[in-house]
Chains A and B, each alone.
Chain A
Amino acid sequence: QSALTQPASVSGSPGQSITISCTGTSSDVGNYNYVSWYQQHPGKAPRLMIYEVSNRPSGLSNRFSGSKSGNTASLTISGLQAEDEADYYCSSYTSSSIYVFGTGTKVTVL
């Protein structure tokens, strides 16, 4: 199972919006609404940001939103803040009954 494809890096200025893509296949992202997004700061454990494509865990800022079209899921961060600078990973359930993560995207706040 190959990793889902994400851009290596995305950057934006404070207050701007950025979008991270996550491209899979019809065996994973395209076939299931089981896409999750995780934020990871250096040296820290990942944190769940979005589940089931577009749902936010309780208490999470509404600046984070998710969507999906075909085999590509997306995470949008609006009103970019300094603390959003981190690595972001998507994940999907697959038709092989296993999970796959994306390649990861480093978000830089300029």
Chain B
Amino acid sequence: EVQLVESGGGLVQPGGSLRLSCAASGFTFSSYWMHWVRQAPGKGLVWVSRINSDGSYTSYADSVKGRFTISRDNAKNTLYLQMNSLRAEDTAVYYCARVYCSRTSCSSMDVWGQGTTVTVSS
């Protein structure tokens, strides 16, 4: 079964750090680009970051650039999101998602984890 399982969420004080993990199984993780997407309580989906299959290319939303770092360990089939200088507005459920590639593009997300909750509060 194709599966993504996030972990690492929790309560952290403003200015603190947290590292999220996303464990992949049931598919060849090293062949896929991956995303992180977040959703604040009662709000919509917001794209956070993307990484290519070998980890050599990354991109970020302006709201997290310079504070968050996406990375991956293909030997461990795991995606990461290192979050530093956390703010109250980073409070959200964080989802990892696999990029779906059709014959013409790789532009959507076809497998999602169940999410991990990050709460930034003093």
The reply to whether the CB of B1 lies closer than 8 angstroms to some CB of chain A is: no
Contact-residue size bin, chain A (C-beta under 8 Å from the other chain): 20 to 34
Contact A47 B112 (CB under 8 A): yes
Contact A36 B45 (CB under 8 A): no
Report the number of A-B residue pairs with Cβ-Cβ less than 8 Å: 71
**B109 shortest CB reach to chain A, Å:** 6
- Residue ID in chain A nearest B111 by CB atoms: A48
Residues of B within 8 A of A89 (CB): 44-45
Partner among B46, B95, B104, B107 whose Cβ is within 8 Å of the Cβ of A36? B107
The residues in B between 85 and 112 inclusive whose CB is less than 8 angstroms from any CB of A are 95, 97, 100, 102, 104-105, 107-110, 112
CB contact under 8 A between A48 and B108, given known A100-B47, A103-B44 = yes
Interface size on B, residues (CB 8 A): 25
**A24 shortest CB reach to chain B, Å:** 13
Contact A34 B107 (CB under 8 A): yes
Partner among A33, A45, A52, A102 whose Cβ is within 8 Å of the Cβ of B113? A45
Report the Cα distance A40→B95, complex, angstroms: 13
Partner among B47, B105, B108 whose Cβ is within 8 Å of the Cβ of A98? B47
CB contact under 8 A between A48 and B100, given known A98-B61, A99-B50 = yes
A and B contact pairs by CB, cutoff 8 A, 28 listed: A1-B61, A1-B62, A32-B107, A34-B105, A34-B107, A34-B108, A36-B107, A38-B109, A45-B95, A45-B114, A46-B95, A46-B97, A46-B112, A47-B112, A48-B100, A51-B108, A52-B108, A57-B100, A57-B110, A89-B45, A91-B45, A97-B59, A98-B47, A98-B50, A98-B59, A98-B61, A101-B37, A103-B44
